[in-house]
């Protein structure tokens, strides 16, 4: 008997489903993506659907046969469609809840999402979906599917196959033939089709003539599945620059609503240690139990207290973010600060710990 794999596609919005409007700029096109997919021979096979499924729901489609498996997928479109630049933590919660409500009905999930904040959403979901045992794959495109030349179809098709036919129990990003861990990925280009990279971790799968799954890089669940929806959005991100002043720093850290901050320092975690007023502002915030995490500004690498200028942060209680991306560090802060009942010390320990594969812990790093 041919196994039928079920995938839920959550269409959040983004370039992938946009069309040019009367002003010749891209804008969301509600209720059009489903019809586009239905009339695309590589995205829907009516003959196969009748043979194995019978009557389909209005939002259900079947991929052409893949080996010995049939992928039946269902499209859930958000109303209104969201530009990813407008998204925030409440939207992450909505997506996580939709996955939770449908978790037992499907073998995998694909989320169609705008590229600008896709890495933030994937990182957030990785922390919110504990004990995940099924693939959750986020994808999008640099060119809309309605254009003659587009990367959308290949990204959707490969995501559906990976979500339906492979056991990859992680939140991932698929883009340009690579499946990347969601909380290890950042957008690296606004103009190239290869728009995302995971500079500190290997791809989980690579799609070429064959699909190569790198099983030894994939995390396996160690706890039952549960959805965490308590996030604390009172967090920020600040990058060091040569002309920064204590006044600028103080304006952020003395804001009453700021409970956590990601610092992006130079190189392997260095800051201007000869500017004692800056260090004093940071130290005062740590004493007020503001959770402060240090990561590197560099796309690749980690922070390390091997220089005097980096050791200064360790001494005043700033947490090492190891090799986390900015997206992972920020969303992890949202998650950790949202866990009820923890002490400051417990939150600090959680930020140092590798809880979803988001960092590489090294004893030489503070």
Could you list the residues known to form a binding site, using ranges.
Answer: 84, 115-116
Nearest CA-CA partner of 157 in 59, 45, 76: 45
Return d(Cα 159, Cα 37) in angstroms, integer. Answer: 14
Does 325 qualify as catalytic in the annotation? no
Contact 88, 116 (CB under 8 A): no
Rounded to 10°, the helix 344-352/326-338 angle is 150
Q: How many CB atoms lie within 10 A of CB 156?
A: 26
Nearest CA-CA partner of 59 in 81, 79, 31, 80: 31
Which residue ranges are tagged as binding site for substrate?
84, 115-116
Return d(Cα 351, Cα 366) in angstroms, integer. Answer: 12
Q: Within 13 A of 208's CA, how many CA atoms are on the CB side? A: 3
CB contact burial 331-344 (16+ within 10 A = b; e otherwise):
bbbbbbbbeeeeee
Does 222 qualify as catalytic in the annotation? no
CB contact burial 254-277 (16+ within 10 A = b; e otherwise):
eeeebbbbbbbbbbbbbbebeeee
Tell me which of 115, 302, 309, 325 is the catalytic residue.
115
Contact 231, 124 (CB under 8 A): yes
Contact 255, 286 (CB under 8 A): no
Contact 264, 295 (CB under 8 A): yes
Return d(Cα 25, Cα 174) in angstroms, integer. Answer: 26
Contact 76, 7 (CB under 8 A): no
Residues with a catalytic annotation lie at 15, 115
């Amino acid at each position: 008997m041919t196994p039928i794999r079920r995938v839920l596609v959550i269409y959040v919005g983004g370039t992938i489903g946009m069309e040019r409007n009367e002003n010749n700029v891209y804008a969301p096109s509600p209720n059009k993506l489903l019809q586009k997919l239905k009339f695309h021979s590589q995205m829907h096979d009516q003959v196969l659907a009748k043979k194995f499924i019978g009557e389909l729901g209005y939002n259900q489609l079947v991929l052409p046969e893949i080996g010995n498996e049939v992928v039946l997928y269902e499209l859930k479109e958000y109303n209104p469609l969201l530009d990813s630049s407008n998204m925030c933590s409440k939207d992450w919660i909505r997506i996580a809840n939709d996955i939770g409500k449908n978790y037992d009905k499907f073998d995998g999930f694909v989320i169609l999402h705008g590229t600008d904040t896709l890495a933030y959403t994937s990182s957030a979901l990785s922390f919110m979906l504990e004990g995940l045992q099924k693939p959750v794959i986020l994808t999008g495109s640099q060119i809309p599917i309605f254009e003659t030349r587009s990367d959308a179809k290949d990204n959707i098709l490969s995501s559906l196959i990976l979500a339906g036919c492979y056991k990859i129990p992680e939140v991932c990003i698929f883009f340009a033939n690579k499946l990347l861990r969601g909380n290890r990925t950042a957008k690296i280009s606004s103009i190239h089709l290869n728009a995302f990279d995971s500079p500190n971790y290997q791809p989980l799968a690579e799609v070429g003539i064959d699909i190569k799954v790198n099983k030894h890089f994939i995390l396996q669940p160690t706890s039952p599945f549960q959805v965490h929806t308590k996030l604390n959005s009172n967090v920020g991100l600040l990058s060091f620059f040569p002309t920064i002043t204590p006044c600028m720093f103080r304006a952020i850290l003395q804001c009453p609503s700021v409970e956590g901050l990601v610092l992006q320092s130079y190189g392997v975690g260095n800051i201007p240690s000869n500017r004692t007023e800056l260090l004093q502002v940071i130290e005062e915030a740590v004493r007020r139990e503001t959770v402060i995490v240090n990561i590197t500004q560099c796309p690749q690498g980690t922070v390390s207290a091997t220089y005097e200028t980096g050791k200064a942060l360790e001494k005043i209680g700033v947490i090492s973010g190891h090799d986390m991306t900015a997206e992972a560090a920020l969303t992890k802060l949202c998650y950790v600060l949202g866990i009820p009942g923890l002490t400051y010390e417990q939150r600090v320990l959680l930020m140092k710990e590798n809880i979803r594969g988001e960092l590489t812990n090294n004893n030489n790093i503070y």
